[in-house]
Structure 1
Amino acid sequence: MSGPMRAIHSLAAPPGPTPARPPLRRGAAAASPLGRSTDPQPSPPTPPSLASRRAVLLALVLAAAPARPAAAAFSLGIPGPKELLREQKKKSASFLLAPIAASRDTLLKAQALLASPTASAEDAEEVRGRIGAAGRDCVPRQRNSIVAFQSKTGVEVCTFSLILKNAASLLANKDPLKVEADTRLGELIQSFSDLGTVVENSNFELIGDREKMKDGLLSTISALDKFEQSVKDCLGV
């Protein structure tokens, strides 16, 4: 075959197969001239969109909503200020009621003096003094000058009134327990006032007058017992 024909034949011939390159492994890092990996670095995370953030917030709100009743129930189990004060008043009830018990004891001793067949004029004065002391400055005409002056300046001097104010401080003015206690307080003060009038106008040596004083003492002791019970009702004891 001549030269030109061989040239044409070589151009028309298909080229031989190209040798395939070995596949690159993704995990393999190609060495760079500086010794560092040439693999592409991971891109930073894309910040959440506004819609996705709202969805997260909504999910948090919905998740927190059922917990509110439980939290409220837990808070209801913790005693509040009124409950704590009420418990403190109950614990101090004996101290608060002590003046009432002392007045009762004083009236009972005056009653024993009146019942004695050997009572003297000195005993009569003691009876009057005991009845005045048992009244706890609640009868205006039985107050001494200092107590009377304090009362005129607006200071509460009646011990029984102070006891009731303390016992009923957590109750509303129209609370039935407080209304009842106020009524009993008024009856007690009136009873002491009536007893004082009987004692002032009686002759200790006369049996009839002494009987009147005995009846007055029994009535006052009964009024004192009723007032004490009303105070206990206000305290819840």
Structure 2
Amino acid sequence: MPPSTLRLTSSSPLSTVAGLPPTPPKQLISNQNLSVRGNQENRREDQRHLVNQLQISRRDAAFLFLISLFPSLCQPSHASAFSIGISGPKEWLKEQKRKSSKFLVAPIDASRQSLRSAYLLLMDKESTKDLEEVQKLLKSAARDCVVQERNSFVAFQASTGVEVCTFRLIVKNASSLLEDKNPVKLEAEAMLDDLISSFTSLNSLANETDIQVSSSRQKVADALMDTISSLDKFEQGVKDCLEV
């Protein structure tokens, strides 16, 4: 018998030789490759877009976080919106300052306690504490506002323009929403100058006086009470700035 022959039918675009799966035509393969490459490009583009969205600077992220915490900064109340000359955010900040006033004046109270402790040591004739202990309390009460009493690190900060006087920082914070010419702010700044002058005189007197002598001890005690009085007036000036 003649050998069997393999017939190819021209009616079919695919060949089925020996049971192998049909081979796609070149045009179909080309279209598939273009489709795959297109999908890959789309994925790369999506990835680049996602990376660009995630590349937010820390400053922008911090700003967005701040806005999320304080929405009233961007959305003043309706009552404030209709109040001519009064901004919602400013009134809100004033209220926050009033609420946190006890934390702002806490260093003032701590200084007062140090001064009172020093006064009790001076008035206690049987106390074994010496002048060094009194000077330590006075230096702590001054809160780095007496130039001569600053340590080297604090003095370096001051020379580079960094504010180191705690009392001056308190005034700046309390009066930050007031105009420069506001009489309440000017009064608080004047009280600050008097307080620093009082602390400077007190520390100089304590460093130069022999407190073992009764009369000299009394002079330091009197200067100490004057400083407490200046501190009380300063605290009231700060509270006036805060309207509390």
TM-score range with shorter-chain normalisation?
0.5 to 0.7
Alpha-carbon contact 2:80-2:88 (below 8 Å) kept = no
Paired residue for 1:82, among 70, 77, 90? 90
Indicate how the Cα distance of structure 1 residues 116 and 74 shifts in structure 2: closer, same or farther if over 3 A, else same.
closer
The normalised TM-score by structure 1 is 0.67
Paired residue for 1:95, among 88, 103, 120? 103
Give the AA of the match of 2:157: Q
Higher helix share: 2
Indicate how the Cα distance of structure 1 residues 75 and 106 shifts in structure 2: closer, same or farther if over 3 A, else same.
same
Q: CA deviation at 1:74?
A: 7.1
The equivalent of 1:145 in structure 2 is: 152
Indicate how the Cα distance of structure 1 residues 207 and 74 shifts in structure 2: closer, same or farther if over 3 A, else same.
closer
1:177-215 per-position Cα deviation (integer Å, ceiling 9, x unaligned): 001001000000000000011101100200011011001
Larger Rg: 1
The equivalent of 1:195 in structure 2 is: 202
Partners in 1 of 2:146 and 2:211 — Cα distance?
A: 22
Count the aligned residue pairs: 165
Partners in 2 of 1:101 and 1:86 — Cα distance?
A: 22
The correspondence of residues 30-109 of structure 1 with structure 2, limited to 5 A, is 75-76=81-82, 80-109=88-117
Structure 1 vs Structure 2: percent identity of aligned residues? 52
Partners in 1 of 2:117 and 2:100 — Cα distance?
A: 27
Q: CA deviation at 1:119?
A: 2.6
Q: CA RMSD in A?
A: 1.6
Partner SS state of residue 144, structure 2: coil
The equivalent of 1:156 in structure 2 is: 163
Give the AA of the match of 2:82: L
The alignment status of 1:206 with 2:213, answered yes or no, reads yes
Indicate how the Cα distance of structure 1 residues 172 and 74 shifts in structure 2: closer, same or farther if over 3 A, else same.
closer
Partners in 2 of 1:85 and 1:210 — Cα distance?
A: 46
1:134-158 per-position Cα deviation (integer Å, ceiling 9, x unaligned): 0000010000000000000000000
